[in-house]
Amino acid sequence: MLKTVHGPALPGILPHGVPYMLRPGLAKKVTIHLNEDTSAGHDFLYNEIFAFLRERGVSGATLIRPQAGFGAHHRLHAADGEGAEREHLPVRIEFIETNAAAEQLLPSLCELVTDGLIEAHETTILKSAVREEPA
């Protein structure tokens, strides 16, 4: 079942559920660094950003939960820590998209991120392959 795209459609981006692969060539990798417990309008911020990317038809994204990290305050936050050390654990969302699509997404992402860091790097896709699922 296809999910409709909420918000502006991106050039070359299809709704969630429609197979879409990036082609080899230049692209942009975007990484969003957040705290796991940062809240947003209706959910935790990382969930809202992940949903935003799916709704906008991004070709794929990964949510990563590092074991430990520290930010601007230099306080260690670790999954195996005790007390306050276990709070504010880091999460990272990464995706690779065409330069045009990434540039179109970045202003909205910057508005969504109220506590965290967004970075973007030029990258080159060397190969993109998806195994066909049996019918």
Give me the number of domains the chain comprises.
1
Residue 24 clears pLDDT 80, i.e. is over it: yes
Q: Rounded to 10 degrees, what is the CA torsion of 23, 24, 26, 28?
A: 60
Q: CB of 130 within 8 A of CB of 19?
A: yes
Cα 58 from Cα 78, distance rounded (Å): 30
Report the pLDDT value the prediction gives residue 19, as an integer from 0 to 100: 57
Q: Rounded to 10 degrees, what is the CA torsion of 16, 32, 46, 110?
A: -90
Residue 18, domain member (yes or no): no
Segments forming the whole domain that contains residue 97: 34-125
Residue 95, domain member (yes or no): yes
- CATH label of the domain that carries residue 63: 3.30.70
Residue 7, domain member (yes or no): no
Report the pLDDT value the prediction gives residue 106, as an integer from 0 to 100: 97
The owner of tokens 């796991």 is: 36
85 pLDDT tier (thresholds 50, 70, 90): low
Residue 91, domain member (yes or no): yes
Report the pLDDT value the prediction gives residue 123, as an integer from 0 to 100: 96
Cα 104 from Cα 9, distance rounded (Å): 10
